[in-house]
Every structure is written in C-alpha cells, then in structure tokens.
Amino acid sequence: MKGLFTVIFLLIFWNAHGLEATGTISGTIYDASGKPMPYATVLIKKLNIGISSDDNGVYSIDKVPFGEHTVLVNFIGYNTVTKTIRLNNKNFDTKLNFVLEEKTESLNEINVIGKTEETEIETQGFAVNVIKTKEASLRNIQTNELLNTTVGVKIRQNGGLGSEVRYSLNGLSGNSVRIFIDGIPISIYGSSFNLNSIPPSMIKNIEVYKGVVPGHLADDALGGAINIVLHKSAQSNFNASASYGSFNTFQTSVNGLYRYKESGFTVKASAFHNYSDNDYKVSGRSVVVTGLGGVQTPVTARRFNDAYRSTGGMAQIGFTDVKWADQFLIGLTGSDDYKEVQHGAFMTIIPYKGRFLESEALLSTLTYQKRDFLIDGLDVNVNGTYGKRNRIVNDTVAAAYSWNGQRAIDFRGNEYNYSWGSQQEGGPTLTKIDRNVASIRTGLSYAINKHHKFLVNHVYSGVDREDSDALRSVLENTFKGTRDLNKNIYSLTYELSALDDRLKASLFGKYYQQETISIDPTIEKGADGKSKIVDETVSSNKKHDGYGFALSYALNSKITLLTSAEKAVRLPSETEVFGDDGDNVIANSSINPEQSRNYNVGFRLGTFAIRKHNFVVSTNLFARNIKDRIGLPIETSLNVDDELILYVNQGTATSKGIDTQLNYSYNKNFGLNFNVSRFDLKVINRGIEIDVPNTPFFTMNGSLRYSFKDLIQKNSRLNLFYTMYFTDDFSYITSQGTNTVGNDFFNVPQQLAQDFGLSYAFPKNRVVASFDIKNIFDKPVYDNLSVQKPGRAFYLKLNYSINKF
C-alpha cells in the first residue's frame, strides 16, 4: 500500500494530458426570475455527453474536442433551450449561461430527460437513499435529525446535544453501521468531530446504504453505511450561520472557498462551535430524591451536569480544476470538545456531578482526485489522514448528589460520600487515552467504455493507543499499557451497463484483515525472589473475505427493479476490543468478528409527473442472517442499573422486514414525504429464539413542506415545515415467558414526536432566517431505557451565503 501511495503521489505532478485539443464549457442555469436551477440536464448532442447542474445551478464539462457543438439544456416543466458554440485555441474555456422559461401549456404527462445525481445512485441496485441537505442547511436541524427522517434509519441518542449516538439501519446498529466523510471512516477524527458537529451547509448530500455496501467504500460495514459527501465545487463561495435556542444552546458555523481563476490555486476553510447546557427537565422511575428513612420521592428535575461544548475547523490549500488534478488539497483538521456526564449507561437514582470528558484531535489531510489520469477512462482518488487525538476522563469528586442537584443524604439525613472516592465505581481517575491515528483510502477506476468499468479500492486505518492515569503511582505510569489496531480492507468491483442503460450490475469482492495487540507491563517476582517487569500481551490477527452484487433493471423510464446481496464481515472496533473508560465500556479481547449474509429486493416507481404533480414510490424487502452478532449481553434480569457495559458475541441472529417510502410534490410549493419501516430481529439465546431486546421494530416518519412566493418582498420565499417521528413501544429485556409481572418496568413506551419550523429567504437568497419548535407537545421521548431526551425546545437561526463572487 505504501508503495502504491508513493507512486500515485509522485505521478500527481506529471503534467500528462491527452494530445487531442480540448476545451471546457461551463456556466450557470437560471430560471426566468434569475434564480439558479439545480439538477438541470446539460447535454452536448453530437458527443452524447451529459451532466447535471449542481446545487447552485452551475455545470462544467471538460475535455470537449475543438469544433462546433450544440448544447441542450432541459428541466422538468420548462422549455428546452439549445445554443451553438465553437471551441478553438482562442476560445477553449467558454462560459455559457442559460435561462429556462416555464412551460405554459397543460400536459397530462411530462417525459423526463436524464436523471438527477441522486436518482442515478438510487437506481444502481443497492438499497440506498440519497438525502439532499440544501433545504435543511437553512434551518436549525442537525445532521442526525435529518438522518432520523430517512426510511429504515433510526437514531438512538442518549440525551441532548453531544450525547452518545448510535445509528440503526434496518435494526442493525452500533458499529455494524459505518460512518464516512467522503469515504474516510469518521472514527479517525475522534469524538470531538461527529455528525452533529458538521453543519449541513458543508454537506452536498448523504448516501445511506442499507445492508449491502458498494465496493468503493471498502470498509467492514456489515449493517450498512452512511457516507457524508462534502461540497467539492471549485466555485468561490461563503456561508455563515448562527443559531440560539432552548437550554442555552448556541451553534455557529462558517465555511468558504476562494479559487484564483488563472492558476487554479484554491483556499478552503470551515469552522464550527456548539454549546448547550442541556439542562432540560426529566422525570420517570429513576428520577427520585431519597429522604429520611430511605423514602424515595419522584420528582421532575433539570439535568445539572450535562453541558456540552465542541469547537473545530478545517483548512485546506491546493489546486482545483487544473490539468494535472481535479483536486489536490493538503490541510489540517482540528477539534476539541468538553462533555459533562450526568449518569452511566442508564439514568439511575443517584446521578453524577463532577464527572466530565475532554477530547481533542489534530490531523493532517491529503486529497487528490483526477479523472482521465494519464489515459482516458482512468480515474484516481486518494484521501489520506494522519495525526493525533486524545481523550481525558476526569472523575475525582467523592460527594454523592440527588436529582435536585443537592447533596444526597443517607437514611439518617446525613450527607455522604462514595467510599470509592469518585462518581463511578472503581475509584477516582484522571485517565488519558492518547492515540496516533492514520487512514489512507485509495481508489482506482478504469472505464473500458460506457458499458464496462473496473474499480480497485483499499482502505487502511490504524490506531496506536496508550492509556495512562495521573492518579496512579509513578511506577504504574512509567510502565504504560499500549493498544494497537491495524485494519486493511481491499475490494475489487466490476460494473456493467447494458441494454441502453436499462440493465446495471455491480459485482464485488472484499478482503478483510485486522491485527490487534494489547500490552500491559506488570511486575512479578521471579524464582530468585527478585521483581521484574513482564509484558502481558494479548494479540489477534483475523482474516476474512466477502463478496456481493447489486443489480437493477428498468422496465421502462418509470419502473426500476432493484436487488442486491452480500456476504459481509464486521471486525470488532477499538472500543469493543480495548474498552473505553469515557463511555463506560469494559475491554473484551476475545470478541469475534460478526458476519452476515444480507439480501435486498425492491422497486422504484417514478418520477411520475402529471401536470403539476410529481411523486416517487419505493419499496425494499430485506433479510439479514447474522453469525456472532456483537452487542450488549441479552438482559434477562434486573441488572439494568449497571454503570458499565461489555460488548459480547450474542450468537446467531436473523432480521427480516420491509421499508416503504413516498415522495410527493405539487407545483414546487407543496412537498410530502412519508416512510414506514417494520422488521423482526431475532437471536438464539440459550437455545431459544427470542426478539432482540432494546430494539424498536416499527417506525414511521413523515414531513410536510409548503412555500409562499413573493411574500412581503418580491423574489422572497416563506417555507413552512412539519415533521413527525413515530416509534412503537419496545422492551429493554427479553420476554419472561408467561410471567409478565413487572415487565412494564422495562418497556420504552410508544412515542410520537412532532416538530414545526419556518424559514424566510430574503431576495437573492443570501439571507435566510428560520424558527423551529422541536417536540411541539412536550412529550417524553426515549431512545434507550429510562434515558429521557429533551422536551419542547425553540430555536432561531440566521444564515448568510454568497454562492459566487
């Protein structure tokens, strides 16, 4: 891998380009009012080359041979426009803008020419949804909230802003679901750089793959993958936003890019800051105050040790859209966060006060992308990350507290301290976890012609971890334990497009390799009675292979059949193997990889356009057969108040279910999205097949949008939004057979949360103001047993952007 990376890095500076004289045609698509039109189809007729305009209506087609060409632009509901242009030595980089007029005649049906980028992805055979973030970026919506409205996706969060988040796709959750930023595993960046820290304005779209993951992502994503695709436009732009709301929550972000047109030199930067007291009210079985005689009184209390702060940024310099690179950027990414810890894995009757976590990361990055590298059809993509990140767990307060924020008392009425000297059992700690992290993602793709394409991908990720505790003795800290994890995943993919692009197939194979080494120095007495240092070493080297396919067939322009299957492998994560004091996780060096055979079959109907009505319906049936499923121990007793958790291999599991989604719009003013997901997830426990506990099996999401044009001011727009989230009840523990007495104690009740929002876009769309109400009716909401999420909350946000300067 290192040799391949070196060769590619050196070849970056080889000014190799074709001998044929070519130029570039680029520009912007506008409607009659002057607003940019995203996703319009641009086609060079003679060459049969097509592209869609981006979010800002901008398009660019390079390597166009010199000569005369006719350029055609089309969009649903608008008249097609054509222009003729000649490229030559004096006119090789041409700007060609288009203005589209809306059709005035009424039609029963409008035929679609071309596909949007997200439609292309969603019709390749994979069970995938593509989420656009442009609209959400103008509101006070977190990336996780946006994901939570997607069919088959359930976000499990332990509280408010900054709390632990688990992602569930069709019931498979935790580390079975991998998160990527432009194909790089997000785990490399550390806890201080997470999806809630990345403002939607930085994100172009989000790809959600359920079950079967394409080879180009090349990771051990057994249950699926979420790939965050950041904006890569080389057009100079700037965006800034700030919001304030309930629980003293303040969030701000700024990002921009400037490109020198003559040289292609590009400067790109972004920054974010988030803060919240998270002092929302909670109640329930664990929120009590213990008085004299041990009498427990239920109360409604505010969380008082749950504040969160995160700050970070990225800066990159390099070149974009030059002959030797589409992108060549080097940069730094830095972030840090502070998180107070209110309780352990579950809310207990005695909360924490004084326990907190701190994290920071500083990483260098390299990005290189080039289409038609050296030869036509050969594309290169390299992303590298290297740096340090660390985490500190601070727990030194021995005093016990109650949910009213005051000192806890014993049955005699006396304030008391924990005998172990800290909030969490195990004694006071100032644990520091230092990590050196590295990740290199390399991709080569070669298109033989428009029908056949091969892709080779490799991802390496490594963690060199060292744990220490300032409260330990000098001797103990002198001989620190080390934890090393190195993972390599290779993939080879063949893509076929046939029958006039009606048939699309992707065949891929994957190879997984992971090595873990845990070394803990100890002092032992030898046979001669003298003390000596002995390294206790636990290591493993696991190798597996996988394979799969995705297939789609378009019966016509409106009906596409989709199917995919994969033998997938998920290697244990660093936390599952080595543990993590900050997340209350115990080490398990003997845990095995989990394997699954994933199957999807479904269809996509649409887009149907009838007069001013547009709608799309999609359905996916899925099945998962899992071996050595990794998760928390199957709970069959009352030990749910444990502060610590241990990941284990639960055994064999199966999952079967269905996802259905409807998207509807009318006259570009009204939009509706509704989706349903239902499945069974069973595991063999002690020879008996049972429902996997702590899993919601039935969810529904819906959203409405309505727009008013030219309200108050001409060329302005007011958008109204409504969103609902329904989760059926589920139990934290397994069924106790015919004896159901007390089972209600462990049930997470049926929930319906509803949000409302509005945004006002001033003329020219540079300034947008938005107001959001979360959980309108202030209903108790839980993703995990007894851990209550925030109630009703209000947020105001201002967004300012310049798309071109």
Q: Which of 342-356, 395-409, 524-538, 680-694 has the lowest mean pLDDT?
A: 524-538
- Lowest mean pLDDT of 343-357, 366-380, 470-484, 605-619, name the range: 470-484
Q: Give the confidence band of 134 by pLDDT, cuts at 50, 70, 90.
A: confident
What is d(CA 729, CA 745) in angstroms, rounded to the nearest whole number?
A: 12
- pLDDT tens for each residue of 322-343: 999 999 999 999 999 999 999 8
Distance in angstroms (rounded) separating the CA atoms of residues 647 and 577: 8
Residue 526: the pLDDT is: 73
Pairing status of strand 22-31 against strand 93-95: parallel
The pLDDT of residue 476 is 65
Residue 785 CB: number of other CB atoms within 10 A? 23
Express each pLDDT in 358-375 by its tens digit: 999 999 999 999 989 989
The two beta strands, 356-370 and 378-395, are: antiparallel
In angstroms, the CA 350 to CA 348 distance is 5
End-to-end CA distance of the chain: give it in Å, rounded: 41
Task: Report pLDDT for 588.
Answer: 86
The torsion angles phi and psi of 745, rounded to 5 degrees, stand at -60, -30
Residue 249 has what pLDDT? 96
State pLDDT tens for residues 234-263: 788 898 999 999 999 999 999 899 999 889
Mean pLDDT for the stretch of residues 500-524: 89
What percent of the chain is predicted at pLDDT more than 90? 43
SS3 197: helix
Q: What is the pLDDT of residue 583?
A: 66
Give the model's pLDDT for residue 711. Answer: 87
Q: Higher pLDDT residue, 416 or 140?
A: 416
Kind plus residue range of the DSSP H or E element containing 122: helix 117-122
Answer for the pair 154, 172: CB distance below 8 angstroms, yes or no. no
- Higher-confidence position of 12 and 466: 466
Q: Give the pLDDT confidence of 415-425 residue by residue, as tens digits.
A: 999 999 998 88
Instruction: Give the number of residues written for the chain.
Output: 805
Rank 55-59, 94-98, 192-196, 210-214 by mean pLDDT and report only the highest. 210-214
What pLDDT, on the 0 to 100 scale, is given for residue 192? 67
Query: How far, in Å, CA of 791 to CA of 793, rounded?
Result: 6
At position 201, the amino acid (one-letter code) is S
Beta-carbon count within 10 A of 450 CB: 10
- Token digits of residue 762: 């001033």
The per-residue pLDDT for 110 is 40
Q: Quick one: the chain helix, strand, coil %, rounded to 5?
A: 10, 55, 35
The reported pLDDT for the residue numbered 354 is 92
Q: How far apart are CA 53 and CA 58, in angstroms?
A: 5
pLDDT tier for residue 104 given thresholds of 50, 70 and 90: low
User: Of 571, 570, 567, which Cα lies nearest the Cα of 540?
Assistant: 571
For 672-691, what is the mean pLDDT? 87
Model pLDDT, residue 14: 38
Q: Give the separation between CA 98 and CA 576, rounded to whole angstroms.
A: 55
Give yes or no for residue 740 having a pLDDT over 60. Answer: no
CB 743 within 8 A of CB 733: yes
> Which residue would you say has higher pLDDT here, 585 or 789?
789
Local structure of residue 472 (DSSP, 8 states): S
pLDDT of residue 802: 84
- Which residues are within 8 A (CB) of 346 and not within 5 positions of it... i.e. 6 or more apart? 286, 640, 641, 642, 784, 785, 786, 787
What is the per-residue pLDDT for 345? Answer: 74
Residue pointed to by tokens 């994933």: 598
Mean pLDDT within 57-80: 83
Torsions phi, psi of 475, nearest 5? -65, -45
What pLDDT is stored for residue 157 in this prediction? 85
pLDDT at 105: 46
Within 10 angstroms of residue 565's Cβ, the number of other Cβ atoms is 18
Among 67-81, 472-486, 499-513, 586-600, the least confident range: 472-486
Residue 12 in this model has a pLDDT that exceeds 70: no
Q: Could you write out the DSSP letters of every residue in 353-399?
A: SS-EEEEEEEEEEEEEEESS-SSTTEEEEEEEEEEEEEEEEEE---B
Select the more confidently predicted residue: 55 or 188.
188
Q: What is the average pLDDT value for the chain, to the nearest integer?
A: 85
Bridge partners, 370 (sequence order): 380
Pick left, alpha or beta for residue 224 (phi over 0 → left; psi -120 to 50 → alpha; otherwise beta): left
The reported pLDDT for the residue numbered 291 is: 87
Q: How far is the C-alpha of 31 from the C-alpha of 17, rounded, in Å?
A: 36
Categorize the per-residue pLDDT at 2 as very low, low, confident or very high, splitting at 50, 70 and 90: very low
pLDDT tens for each residue of 635-652 = 544 444 456 778 888 888
Contact 166, 173 (CB under 8 A): yes
CB 239 within 8 A of CB 799: yes
> For residue 210, is pLDDT > 60?
yes
Report, as an integer, the average pLDDT of 189-208.
78
- Distance, in Å, from the CA atom of 649 to the CA atom of 369, rounded to the nearest integer, reads 40
CA-nearest of 158, 162, 161, 231 to 200 is 231
Phi, psi dihedrals of residue 17, rounded to the nearest 5°: -150, 165
pLDDT value for 11: 39
Count CA atoms closer than 13 A to 397's CA, side-chain side: 16
Q: What percent of the chain has pLDDT over 70?
A: 90
Q: Find tokens 């995705």 and name the residue.
A: 550
Where b means 16+ CB within 10 Å and e means fewer, 296-333 reads: eeeeebebbbbbbbbbbbbbbebbbbbebbbbbbebeb
Higher pLDDT, 569 or 586: 569
Least confident of 195-199, 375-379, 747-751: 195-199
Question: For 634, phi and psi rounded to 5 degrees?
Answer: -65, 120
**pLDDT for 34 beyond 60:** yes
Question: For 418-424, which contacts have Cβ atoms below 8 Å and span 24 or more sequence positions?
Answer: 421/396, 422/355, 422/395, 422/396, 422/397, 422/398, 423/341, 423/352, 423/353, 423/354, 423/355, 423/395, 423/397, 424/344, 424/352, 424/355, 424/395, 424/584, 424/643
CA torsion sign, 164 to 170 to 176 to 180?
A: negative
Q: How far apart are CA 399 and CA 393, in angstroms?
A: 17
Give mean pLDDT, residues 768-776: 94
CA angle 452, 453, 455 (to 5 degrees): 160
Least confident span in 78-92, 274-288, 302-316, 380-394: 78-92
Of residues 31 and 280, more confidently modeled: 280
Structure tokens at 45: 């007729």
Q: Check residues 633 and 157 and name the one with the higher pLDDT.
A: 157
Bigger pLDDT: 113 vs 721:
721
Block residue for tokens 């297939």: 551
Query: pLDDT of 154-190, one tens digit each?
Result: 888 888 888 888 888 887 877 788 888 888 788 778 7
Q: Which pLDDT score is estimated for 271?
A: 92
